[in-house]
């Protein structure tokens, strides 16, 4: 069966070379029994390719089951996959067959495989290598003949480097890698998909057909579609139901694009790396602005003390205020807080005036951005009593970026 026949049979829309290559790989690997690792962003259609591989394989008459590993709690995933014996754990009132037993002779699709706990990964590796498994709470070795197709929307190799995924399982699953291209890499297919979805939904809801003007067509083509085909389909359904004017303009279309992507030169999202760099730059700007504001306040207070005469009534309060403000300014390198001394001469041409000295030893200011960043993160964590989510919001960065910074700076 050639690529065009597969597209027609499974309702795949598009002529992108990357899409055609993915379909061709699925077609070639389907007749074999080797494991396949499907990678691609969320919403790009990974499960569709698992069905293609199963239906075009000798196991097409056998059972097929899709399991979302990220949706099963860590404490029960072993039981779900491999079964358990009666009394194996609290609540196990009877024995239960797992998916690998019920799908014997067929295909199991393990979605979000990178979310699988390490202990379960070891059990899965044994199934892939020998077809053997043991039910939870049993000592009897069971046999199964199941083809495994796995999928993930994260970088599994990076997870291996971070110790979150077994390296041996990665290479065992990745016998044939199959990458599904994101929608932004299939620009020539976006408008075709949109027309297909709107046609389906207008027929379903019995509404007039929808058309896009030229500017609206450019908007959907240039937008990066972080939710991929799923997001495009969702937008098409909303337009089919909600819009009274069936000629859709660019401005109307922008109302259906997430606000965070709106207002840029083009409706394109910044990738995570650029987003994190921008947030870290914001931290440094915030540090510098806070320091500048504190110094301005200090200068104002000193000028006010020098300008006004009469120290007798306000002397203690002004000294306390000056010292307190200076303490609020963190000195680089952890220097000691200086203490100011206000001295009033007997007479200065008939006007009382202040002489201000401070007894702290001068400390050369550090210009290290790392120290400034570290100090601000410490302040935010202290302010929110160690709650990283609140501290991240205060700093204007993601919690993930804050956690990485805490590790990098060894806070």
pLDDT tens figures, 189-214: 999 999 999 999 999 999 999 999 99
pLDDT score of 76 more than 70: yes
The percentage of the chain sitting over the pLDDT mark of 90, rounded to a whole number, equals 52
For residue 95, the model assigns a pLDDT of: 87
For residue 43, what is the DSSP state?
A: T
As a whole number of angstroms, the distance between CA 256 and CA 262 comes to 10
CATH architecture classification, 184-261: Orthogonal Bundle (1.10)
Q: Provide the 8-state DSSP code for 355.
A: E
Q: Quick one: CATH architecture of 3-181?
A: 3-Layer(aba) Sandwich (3.40)
Q: Record the tokens describing residue 397, joined without a space.
A: 């960065």
Burial pattern 98-134, b for ≥16 Cβ within 10 A else e, equals bbbbebbebbbbbbbbbbbbeebbebbbebbeeeebb
pLDDT, tens digit, for every residue of 7-48?
999 999 999 999 999 999 999 999 999 999 999 999 999 999
Q: What is the mean pLDDT of residues 64-75?
A: 92
Instruction: Give 238 or 306, the one with higher predicted confidence.
Output: 238
Is the separation of the CB atoms in 223 and 258 below 8 Å?
A: no
Nearest CA-CA partner of 360 in 388, 334, 391, 387: 334
Grade residue 363 by pLDDT with cuts at 50, 70 and 90: very low
Determine the average pLDDT of the residues in 252-280: 55
Domain ranges of the chain: 3-181, 184-261, 270-411
Q: Give the phi and the psi of residue 66 in degrees, each rounded to 5.
A: -105, 130
116 pLDDT higher than 50: yes
Q: Classify residue 348 by its DSSP letter.
A: B
Q: Using one digit for the tens of pLDDT, what is the confidence trace for 117-157?
A: 999 999 999 999 999 999 998 889 999 999 999 999 999 98
| Most confident by average pLDDT, 127-136, 296-305, 388-397 | 127-136
* pTM, rounded to two decimals: 0.61
Which of 141-150, 269-278, 301-310 holds the top average pLDDT? 141-150
Tell me what pLDDT residue 368 has. 62
Numbers of helices and strands, H then E, in the chain: 17, 11
DSSP tag of 113: G
- pLDDT band (50, 70, 90) for residue 1: confident
Residue 390's pLDDT band (cuts 50, 70, 90):
confident
Average pLDDT, the chain: 80
* 272 — pLDDT class (breaks 50, 70, 90): very low
Residue 211: what are its φ and ψ, rounded to 5°?
Answer: -130, 150
Q: Which range, 100-104, 303-307, 387-391, is most confident?
A: 100-104
Beta-carbon neighbour count of residue 232 at 10 Å?
A: 21
Across the range 280-285, mean pLDDT stands at: 59
């Amino acid at each position: 069966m050639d690529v065009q026949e597969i597209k027609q049979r499974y309702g795949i829309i598009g002529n992108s070379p990357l899409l055609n290559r993915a379909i061709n790989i699925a077609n070639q690997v389907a007749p074999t029994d080797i494991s396949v690792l499907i990678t691609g962003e969320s919403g790009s259609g990974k499960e569709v390719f698992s069905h293609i591989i199963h239906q075009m394989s000798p196991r097409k008459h056998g059972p097929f089951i899709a399991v979302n590993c990220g949706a099963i709690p860590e404490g029960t995933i072993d039981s779900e996959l491999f079964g358990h014996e009666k009394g194996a754990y609290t609540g196990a009132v009877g024995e239960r067959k797992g998916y690998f037993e019920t799908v014997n002779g067929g295909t199991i699709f393990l979605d979000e495989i990178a979310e699988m706990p390490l202990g379960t990964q070891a059990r899965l590796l044994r199934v892939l290598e020998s077809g053997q498994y043991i039910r939870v709470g049993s000592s009897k070795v069971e046999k199964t003949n199941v083809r495994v197709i796995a999928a993930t929307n994260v970088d599994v190799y990076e997870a291996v480097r971070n110790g979150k995924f077994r390296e041996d399982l990665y290479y065992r699953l990745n016998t044939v890698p199959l990458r599904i291209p994101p929608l932004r890499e299939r620009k020539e297919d976006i408008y075709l998909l949109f027309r297909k979805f709107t046609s389906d939904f207008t027929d379903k809801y019995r509404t007039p057909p929808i058309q896009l003007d030229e500017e609206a067509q450019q908007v959907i083509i240039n937008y990066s579609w972080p939710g991929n085909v799923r997001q495009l389909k969702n937008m098409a359904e909303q337009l089919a139901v909600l819009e009274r004017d069936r000629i859709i303009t660019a401005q109307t279309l922008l109302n259906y694009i997430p606000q965070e992507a709106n207002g840029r030169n083009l409706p394109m999202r910044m990738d995570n790396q650029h987003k994190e760099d921008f947030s870290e730059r914001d931290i440094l700007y915030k540090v510098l602005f806070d320091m500048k504001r504190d110094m301005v306040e200090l200068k104002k207070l000193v000028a006010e003390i020098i300008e006004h005469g009469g120290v007798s009534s306000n002397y203690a309060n002004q000294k306390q205020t000056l010292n307190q403000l200076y303490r609020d300014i963190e000195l680089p390198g952890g220097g000691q807080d200086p203490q100011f001394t206000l001295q009033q001469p007997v007479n200065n041409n008939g006007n009382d005036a202040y002489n201000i000295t401070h007894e702290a030893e001068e400390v050369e200011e550090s210009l290290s951005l790392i120290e400034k960043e570290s100090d601000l993160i410490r302040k935010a964590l202290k302010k929110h009593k160690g709650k990283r989510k609140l501290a991240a919001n205060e700093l204007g960065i993601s919690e993930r970026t804050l956690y990485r910074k805490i590790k990098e700076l060894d806070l």
